[in-house]
Structure 1
Amino acid sequence: MSADTASAEVERRLIDLETRLAFQEHALLELSDALATSRDEETRTTLLLHRALEELRQLRMAMSSGGPLGNDAASEPPPPHY
């Protein structure tokens, strides 16, 4: 193998490696963006869950304390037709 042939082979391999590296960097950026999006969605979902749980807790407290939502049928006056 001559020096020119060896040099051309090394250059071809170097170009191939640089191309692969560029594709891998692009793939890593896409994965990083997808992970960031997923984390944002998880944060929003967690916040919504906490809000829903707090509303449920408040409703349960209102029902157990006999508040406006917690009146049971026995404590209400009879309907007008009685």
Structure 2
Amino acid sequence: KPTDNGFIEAFNSKLRSECLNAHWFMSLADAQEKLETWRRHYNEDRPHSAIGYNVPIALHYPGGAASPSPDQAGKLQHPAVQG
């Protein structure tokens, strides 16, 4: 139900209004590119009121590093797992 998880419902609303309704997707690759661009903007550039108008990436990478690209993400390991 929508009332069970307000955070997910708010995210879904933002995704739909800011990305899905704002673009035409001409192919799967085009959709992946546009969604990845929106995801990076949402996490790295867009301030969120719930976290004091900071960007979410700043909570995970205090030094200001960007999140890994999709092709790098599969190659990364958690620091505790690395040898």
Which of the five TM-score ranges fits, normalised by the shorter chain? under 0.3
- Report which of the two structures shows the higher radius of gyration computed on alpha carbons: 1
Q: Give the TM-score normalised by the residue count of structure 2.
A: 0.28
Relative contact order (C-alpha < 8 Å, sep 6+): which is higher? Answer: 2
